[in-house]
Structure formats: structure tokens, C-alpha cells
Structure 1
Amino acid sequence: MRTHTETEILDAVIVGGGAAGLSAALVLGRARRSVAVIDSGKPRNTPAAHMHGFLSRDGMAPGELLAVGRSELQTYGVEFKRDDVVDISWRGIEPGFVVELSGGTTLETRTVLVATGLRDSLPKIPGIQELWGQSVLHCPYCHAYEISDQPIGVLGGDAREMSLHQAFLLRQWSSDVTFFPDKISLTPDERARLAARGVTVADGSVSGLVCEKSKLKAVELDNGQLVARSALFVAPRFVPNDAHLTRLGCKASPMGFVAVDHSGATSVPGIWGAGNVVDPRAQVINAAAAGSTAAIAINGYLVEQDVESALRSTDPEGGFSAAMEQGVCEMNGGSALHGI
């Protein structure tokens, strides 16, 4: 694997080595760009034994996918660093950025892709954190098939609409679904709809989970009642790991995540975002696709910079013409000027 010199200005630094970051690095490496991937080694899906819905990789362990991806990057000279990024700042009058790592290394780069994902804020109910990713789950499309026809529970929470949606959805996989409203007050119409769908409602606050050998056995209510369940679905609150993006001044969308266009470009020139850090709905396959899309846009942006640099070398007083500005905008899907 290539090791970049401290004085080299990289074409791209990718912060986050998950599916989005590695996919972007692969595309940029194949485009013969100088790329470094910085990853803390703390992927969101670590608790999950397998991932699903990824064509040709269905059932693969998440860690195995990342290991294969990192191996593939070596072919194209992409550098991979196991470290934390502590700061990203402007290079000053020169275009590009300075990326500071906790290990003391400083990288200079023309562009940055942030693919740091999100974290799940879970209800503070005993047992949920301990069983998260095993028998306490979030995504039916990722996990429900493996527990088909077993007794399933759904916990009501802060994400009210998502919690109810999970209850309706999970009846496709099991005829034994119980909804635990917990702190949600159901309307008569909601109760009628759940009953029509064949979902049982267990009223009362949830006091904890009963587990045996790291597997869920029952949901305990505050009145002492135990409702036997093999799995419990929870809609967590999604918290994006977007501190680097927000410190750089990237604008946010109405839903609270950093706003990006269809290529992943943020409102700050030279900064892209991909995966769960900007899209809470992205599964692994979507994140990988977003990384690839962002990489193509980044390379287009770099090509325009290269052309401009070549023009300046022959005409020092020259600069972007209106036509070139329009060309950059079109290359980056209408947001090269980052007017999001």
C-alpha cells in the first residue's frame, strides 16, 4: 500500500472507511487519483452478525465486506490509515484543506469526502443496548426474514411514525406481532388500524427486557407482565456524525442532516458527504452507491481544477470564464458552485 509524503497535496481524503468511503476510494483510485482513507475502526453495524439486501454479498458479515474492500484498494495505491480525524480546515489562500489526525499526522488535500455515518440513540430501557443488533433490531428489510414466523415485538418511541410503520410492516414476516406503545398514546383510529392488521397491543410502560444467553426471551411491563418475544424492533433516533461538516459551514436540510445534492456535494466547495452521515435511510448497498457517485463528481471537479491550472500556466491573468463556470456546474450536477 502506498504511503504518501507529508508534503504531498492529495487529490482526496476520505473520512470514514465504511461502504460509502471504501466505494469512493475504489473509484478514485481507479481514476489514478492520490487518495487516503482515514477510518476510526468503529462501524455502526459492528453488532450485526450479517448484512442483507446487498446483491452478491447477502449474508456476509459486515467486517468481512470492509476487509475485502480494503484489500481491493491496495491494487490502486489508495492509502488506508486507522486513525481519528480531529480537524478539517481550509488551506488558506490555496484551494483545498488540511486534515489533522489524532496520531499527529497532517494531510493536505484538494477535496474531502466525509462518510462517517451516524449513531443510534436508543431508549434507556434495560436490555436494549445489550441486545442491540442481535435480537433488538431496527430494519425489517435487514433482519426480519431471519426471524420469520417467530413472536416479534415493536417498541413505540420518539420516532412515533416509524414505530407504527414497523408494526404494520412486520406482519408480512410473522402472524404474531405485538406493539408496545410504552410512552406513545394511541388514537382510536391507530388502535383500529393495528387490530385490522392483526397486531396485538400491549399497553403499559416497558420496564425492561428478559434475556437468556444473549437472546431476547420476553418484554417486561411495569405491572410485572412478561410478553414472550424472540425479537424486538426499535426505531432509534438517528444522530449524524457530522461535526466536521458543520464546523466547515455546510448547510443543513430541513430534516437536520447536512444537505447534499444528488452527487453528494455540500454547500462548501470541495466538500462531499455520502452514506448515513447525510442520509439516515441508506442501507449498505445504498451507501456504497452514494460513495461511487460522489467519487465520480469529485473527479470531475478535480478535472476542472486541473484544466484551470493549465490555463493559468499559459495565461497567468486568465481565470474561470462564464462558460467554464457553467461547465463545472454541469459536471457536478448543477451544484459545482455549491449554491444549495
Structure 2
Amino acid sequence: MDADVVVIGGGPAGLSGAKALARSLRSVVVVDDDRPRNAAADGAHNVLGNEGISPRELLAVGRRELESYGGRVRPGRVTDARAADGGFEVSLADGGVLTARRLLIASGTVDELPDVPGLADRWGRDVLHCPYCHGYEVRGQAIGVLATSPMAVHQAQMFGQLSPDVVLFAHTSGLTAPLVDPRIRVVEGEVVGVEVTGDRLTGVRLASGEVVPRRAVAVASFPRARTEHLAGLALPVEDLRMGDQVLGTKLVADHMGRTPVPGVWVAGNSADPMAQVVGSMAAGLWAGAQLNMDLITEDTARLVAAG
């Protein structure tokens, strides 16, 4: 085998899991296609000791730390993975194949946004989703919340802690004014775009032609687990739910990161789309420790069988 463990995805979860394994003297290879979920953000927040660090700088530091313990990072795109010869084969877009005893999936998710022109271009800058990730940076400003489901009311309330000027755009959600919370003004009508002046968002455009001045827009994305490169593993996917609302999709795994497919673990946004950077790091570390224990058990069984 090329490695004890191949990690698919080199974000906070994948690198943390790989580092835990490398520090346990396991051979580990991380395959990463350089598509971090938070690449558009100026900084990663709530990262104790590294507040506001650039997401790419954080990953660069993590790669160097992993390599200092003997772990390897292989840039590339995984096209498939499958069980083979008592382990796993991972196929790469450049034609390469890696073999491993175990797999850790940390490929993350893709954030699908409402089909409103301009949102995707501003994503991670002044089109935001998480008040804990980016809310402080827009405190006190005119904030709009685009309703895509009843959960938007909760999102508006959270941003309402940070600014006295929060507008909830009903859009196509069916929400109507007034809301129970008197702090939130509801603007009815379909949103058809955002206004940008220079390099700053300045307003939200309605189908009526009205432009409501705003400096930031919060919108709940639909995080969909990246699975297009994992068909050979047949990993089960399930809905991420809050009550009767479907908020995204995720790979099925237990609290230790173990999937129903023997020998395959998952960590980070692949299993928990709501996890922030620190949560993904913790999940990766935990999955790495469980993988190492699983390998210890297998190694011990082989020694006993060999007499």
C-alpha cells in the first residue's frame, strides 16, 4: 500500500486528521484539489490564537505542520475511490492511483445559492451566511436577509443582535409582514438582483424596480456534500434536517466519523455542513484517532494470527 491512510480533502478536517495519524507514525497522504469552501472569505474567525487568519494561510501552515511529521500532500483531483485487495484504490485525474488500508473523506460541501443574479459574485465578502463567521465584521451596518425558508426569521434575529437595521426580504418564501419580532422589518416582493457600486454592495433590487439600500446580505446556502468523486464507495447520503426543514445533504457517519462502509471514515463539512473551522479541525482529529485505533486492532490481530 502507498499509505496506511489516504485523506481525500486537505481542508481543516483533512489536515487535522492526517496530522494526528502522522504523529502516531502512520503513513498518510492527503489529496487536495485546492477548492476550500471558505476561499472567498477574507479571514477565518473564532479560531483561537489565529483570529482572522486568511483561510489559505491557515491551510498552508497546516500542510507544513503535517509534512514536518512525515505526512504528504499530493495536489490533484480524485475521480473515484473503491475497495480493492483488502484496502482501497484512489484514482486521480492525472492518471495516478494511490492505495491505502483506510480512507478519510474530508471533501466538504458545495454551497448552492438562490438563483439571484449577483449573489454568487459577492459570496464570502458582503453576501454572507453565518453570523458567527462574519457577523461582527458587518456590525451596525444595513443588513438584508434573503428568505429562502422559514429559517430565515431565525437568521434575521441573529443578525439583529449585531445591527439595529435589519431587513428581511420575503422573496419567494411566502413570509408576510409583520413578524412576531418587532425589530425586523419585512419587505415583500421577489428579489431579482443586488446593486454594486465600485467594489461594494449597496442595495437589493426587487422585481418592482425598487432598490432597498443595504451594505450586506445574509442568505442561507444549501450545502450539498461533494460525492461526485466517490461513486465507487457507494457511501450513503442523507438530508441535513432541522425539524421538517431540509437544510442540505451530508454523508452518513456515526459520532466517531465511521461510515457504514468498512474502512472509510468521514470528517468536517462532509458529515456536518454546519461545522465551522474549529469544529472541522476537532472532527478531523477525532476521526484520525479512531482510524489509528482501528489500524492498531488490525495490526494486533495479524500478529496474533502469525503466532
Task: Assess if the C-alpha contact under 8 Å between 1:127 and 1:208 holds in 2.
Answer: yes
- Which protein has the bigger helix share? 1
Distance 1:301 1:245 in 2: 22
Matched with 1:134 is 125
State the AA in 1 paired with 2:167: T
Q: With the length of structure 1 as denominator, give the TM-score of the two structures.
A: 0.85
TM-superposition CA deviations, 1:33-68 (whole Å, max 9, x none): 000000001111111011101111111110010000
Distance 1:192 1:100, change over 3 A: closer
Aligned pair 1:172/2:157, yes or no? no
Matched with 2:51 is 58
From 177, 187, 201, the counterpart of 1:216: 201
Q: Could you say what secondary structure the match of 2:35 adopts?
A: coil
Task: Assess if the C-alpha contact under 8 Å between 1:260 and 1:266 holds in 2.
Answer: yes
Between Structure 1 and Structure 2, whose CA radius of gyration is higher?
A: 1
Task: Assess if the C-alpha contact under 8 Å between 2:194 and 2:201 holds in 1.
Answer: yes
TM-superposition CA deviations, 1:138-180 (whole Å, max 9, x none): 11101110111110000011xx133221111111000000000
Deviation at 1:17, TM superposition (A): 0.3
State the AA in 1 paired with 2:42: A
Distance 1:187 1:204 in 2: 10
Distance 1:113 1:164 in 2: 36
Aligned-residue sequence identity (percent) comes to 40
Aligned pair 1:225/2:214, yes or no? no
Task: Assess if the C-alpha contact under 8 Å between 1:20 and 1:274 holds in 2.
Answer: yes
Structure with the larger RCO, 1 or 2 (CA within 8 Å, 6+ apart): 2
Query: C-alpha root-mean-square deviation of aligned residues, in Å?
Result: 1.4
Matched with 1:331 is none
State the AA in 1 paired with 2:152: S
TM-superposition CA deviations, 1:92-138 (whole Å, max 9, x none): 3xx21111111222111000001000011111111101111110001
Deviation at 1:247, TM superposition (A): 3.9
Aligned pair 1:261/2:254, yes or no? yes
Distance 1:127 1:250 in 2: 34
Q: Could you say what secondary structure the match of 1:173 adopts?
A: coil
> How many residues matched?
299
Task: Assess if the C-alpha contact under 8 Å between 2:4 and 2:26 holds in 1.
Answer: yes
From 224, 230, 237, the counterpart of 1:252: 237
Aligned pair 1:37/2:24, yes or no? no
Q: With the length of structure 2 as denominator, give the TM-score of the two structures.
A: 0.94
Distance 1:202 1:254 in 2: 30
TM-superposition CA deviations, 1:239-296 (whole Å, max 9, x none): 1102455641333345342211111000011000101111111101000000000000
Distance 1:140 1:245 in 2: 32
Matched with 2:74 is 81
Task: Assess if the C-alpha contact under 8 Å between 1:156 and 1:180 holds in 2.
Answer: yes
Question: What are the ranges of 5 or more consecutive residues in structure 1 without an aligned counterpart?
Answer: 1-7, 315-340
Distance 1:12 1:217 in 2: 48
Q: Could you say what secondary structure the match of 2:150 adopts?
A: helix
Distance 1:14 1:83, change over 3 A: same
